[in-house]
Structures are given as structure tokens and as C-alpha cells.
Structure 1
Amino acid sequence: MIVTSETGVTLVGGAPISAQMLGLCLERAPTLVAADSGAGRALALGHRAIATIGDLDSLDPDVRARLPSDSLHPIAEQDTTDFAKVLRSVEAPFLLGIGFTGALLDHTLAALSTLAAHKGAPCVLVSDHEVIIHAPRSLSLNLPLGTRVSLYPLWPVTGRSRGLEWPIEGLTLGPQNQLGTSNRVIARDVHLEFDAPGTLVFLPPEMLDAALAGLGISARSPGVGGL
């Protein structure tokens, strides 16, 4: 294990990120680890990762020169993404991943697949547009009325829902079947059950703390307000 932390860890990738969202992640998960060129994204916003992990083929030479050599952890194999390399190299109560979605579509799809395959500590992908979690078999969320909730199954799955305008019971959700995007909250206590793993849940970015709570994580620092 390259990084072990008693607090949540923020993972930063190479896609564009905002100072506001990175700051909000660090308030909840103060240890910062970069995946390859994510080190440059963090430095540009005034933050230095304690470790940079990946094949490092995208790490700018000027950024590399500004990082302590003992913070660089190259993993040369090309069978997995840098996101996957970081996930298997960090031990922490939970992980927030920022900078892994929103740029190249194929990279975003790879990140979503990696998130669904991840079997370690809970991980939430964060951007200015949404937060994404891989739903456990049973998930309860406390959400404001009218909140957008999108369910995207990576393979066929059935389940049940409570608190959503369009229930999923009786449907087979799947990438080539019925999708569950753009549903809406009609009761604050939302409960989802699935017969198998593989469903991603997309929420607005201001629902980060609600997503963490749904995964059993209390991560808000004293004095931290809503998003």
C-alpha cells in the first residue's frame, strides 16, 4: 500500500477541476493523492499531493520537477487506468475522486467502469455537475423534494424504489434496456434496492454530503456548510 490514511482521501485526476470543488473535497477528505497529471491540476490550484501514482506518462516535466522525488510512485503496467492504480494503492475510510470525469468521454466511461468494479473503501466521484456513487444493494438517501436522481446500470439489474416519482419495480434496467436517468424525488426519504451490483447513482453536486451519508460516511468538518 502506497498511502494509508486515517481520514478520507481526495484523489485528483487530470480532467479540469474547479478550486471550489477541490476545496470542498479537501474539507471532507483532507489527504490529497494525485493520479498522474492530476498532480499538475492540484498544483495549479495551490495544493501539493502527498503522493502521485500512475504510469506518469502524462505528468508534465515542469510539474515533476516541483514534486519531491519520494512522492512519485510510478506503476508501469498498462492494463489498468491511473484511477484504478490509485484506488488499489490507497487505504482510507473513504475516497473522493475529482478530475476523473468531464473531459474525454472514453476516460469518463473508463472511470465509471472502474468505480463499479472497485471493491475497497467507498468512493464518490465529484465534479461541478454531479456526484456519482456505485450503489450498494440497499441504499437510503435523504434528499430535498424535486432533486434529480439518475440511475445508470452498467449491466442488467432489477430493483425497487421508494420516494422517486417513477418507481423502478418491475423494470429490468440496463444499458440496452430501460434506463433510470432523470428521475425525481417526491419524498425526502429515498430508498433503493437492487438485486445485483452495477448501478451508478448520479446526484447534483450539492448532494455530496447526502451521498456520503447514504454510504454510511459522516465527513463534514466542523463549520463546513452545504455545497
Structure 2
Amino acid sequence: MINPQKSTAIVRSERPIALVGGGQVGPDDLKLVLIRVNLVVAADGGAVPLMDMGHMPDAVIGDFDSLGSSYRDQIPEERLFPIREQDSTDFDKALRSVEAPLVLGVGFLGGRLDHQLAVLNTLVRLRDRPCLLLGEREVVFLAPPRITLSLTPGDVVSLFPFERVTGKSRGLEWPIDNLVLESNGRVGTSNRALADVELSVDGPGLLVMVPRAALEQVMQAFLSEKTGRWPAHAE
């Protein structure tokens, strides 16, 4: 459902939605995501890869500095939602403007490192908006309070803290129990799954990276309503 009232969410859905950015989009990225959603939102220039594949976005959100007139003129006016401020990225503008049980994001990883860091920063700040980012090799998400994933033994499971967190794990080659993870201290990259992985953390701030092939398992874990959700970040 598209909501024209700018003071509330622009797009609401009871099912997962796709969010497409203007960054690196692999040949199968859109195919993997579009079959799993019923609404597609473009973050500014993310409308370009969508339209090039013959898909008209249900909504376009951003400052529109990356969307050329040749594309913009083809999009119905009622699907354009400009947010002109320059204090946030288009990913931030779009993610905070949608409400759904889960957002699947493509076109936000790869390319410029500063852009990727800004996206990951937003993923942590907008902690009440569950979002999976699809990369060339991995799926990235903010760890919810708890999650169980059916992974293949040997799968790489990387944990990177943007904020200080502690937690517990089962099914990892190197458990995180009794460890303090923080961005300027110990991190948990290049861990490995031994079997099903169970992870619980005491607060938001831990990014999880698992193989791209695990997209469906991660998605179903979030949609199971067994993960819990973080409250919105206090401004």
C-alpha cells in the first residue's frame, strides 16, 4: 500500500518488500529478490536497474539527484516521493519510509567503500526496520535479539560489531560466549558453522554475514516471529 501522507510511512506492506539501490546489482540479484516480495521500492537511482529489466517501481524515494529525467519522466507522478534534505543517504531515506515485516535490499553493497559504510551505519541505526542486504557473495543483516539458522557445515559466518555487544552462540566453530565484541576491539569475522547456528545478543549493533545461498533461510528466520525485534533508536 502506498501512503501519500509524508508524515507517516510512505509504503506499508504485511509482506516483505524489495528495496533497490543504484549501486552494484548483480545479474541474478533482482531475480532472487523479486520472486519473494509483492512491492518494490527504489531508492533514487535504484529505479534505473529496475526499469532496465522491465520493472516499474511501486515507489521511488530519495533526493532524486541520481535519477535522470529519461527515467523519471516514465514513472507515474504518484509514485515519486522526493525527500530533499541532504543529511542522509537515499538508503536511509527509503528504509525509514517503509513499514514491512522484512526488507530485502539489493544495489547497496559493492562499489565505493564509503557508500557501503554509510549503508551499514544506517542498518544499525534503523534497528527497528529488519533488513537483509544481498551482496555478491553474502547476505548482511543486523543481528536480532536471537536467531537460528540452518547453515551448511563449513559456511563462513562473520560477525562485526558496530556497537559493543555480548552474546551466546551454538553451532559456531569459535563460540562467542563470554566475549565482548566491539568495533575497536575484538570482532568475529571468518567464523564457521558446524551445524545449525543459534545466536543471541544483548543489544543491537552486531552485523552478521552469511553466504548468499542462505538468503531463504535467513528470510524465513526473520519471518518466523521468533527472532524478536529491537526498538527504534532513541534520537
- Find out whether 1:100 has 2:85 as its counterpart: no
Distance 1:98 1:217 in 2: 22
Equivalent residue runs for 1:210-225 within 5 Å = 210-217=217-224
Other-structure match for 1:223? none
- Do the aligned partners of residues 216 and 7 (structure 1) sit closer, same or farther apart at CA in structure 2, a change above 3 Å counting? closer
By how many angstroms is 1:217 displaced? 4.3
- Find out whether 1:120 has 2:138 as its counterpart: no
Taking only the aligned residue pairs, the percentage that are identical comes to 47
By how many angstroms is 1:21 displaced? 1.5
Instruction: Check whether the contact 1:141–1:213 (CA below 8 A) recurs between aligned residues.
Output: no
SS in 2 for 1:125: strand
How many equivalent residue pairs? 217
One-letter code aligned to 2:128: G
- Find out whether 1:141 has 2:127 as its counterpart: no
One-letter code aligned to 1:78: Q
5+ residue gaps, structure 2, are 1-8, 226-235
TM-score by length of structure 2 reads 0.87
Other-structure match for 2:98? 90
Other-structure match for 2:211? 204
Other-structure match for 2:201? 194
- Do the aligned partners of residues 121 and 176 (structure 1) sit closer, same or farther apart at CA in structure 2, a change above 3 Å counting? closer
State which of 25, 29, 35 in structure 2 corresponds to 1:17. 25
One-letter code aligned to 1:210: Q
One-letter code aligned to 2:215: L
Distance 2:157 2:222 in 1: 16
SS in 2 for 1:24: helix
Indicate the RMSD between aligned Cα atoms, in angstroms: 1.5
Other-structure match for 2:63? 55
SS in 1 for 2:191: strand
Q: 4+ runs of 1 displaced by more than 6 Å?
A: none
5+ residue gaps, structure 1, are 219-227
By how many angstroms is 1:19 displaced? 3.5
TM-score by length of structure 1 reads 0.90
- Find out whether 1:132 has 2:134 as its counterpart: no
By how many angstroms is 1:120 displaced? 3.4
Equivalent residue runs for 1:158-169 within 5 Å = 158-169=166-177
Other-structure match for 1:222? none
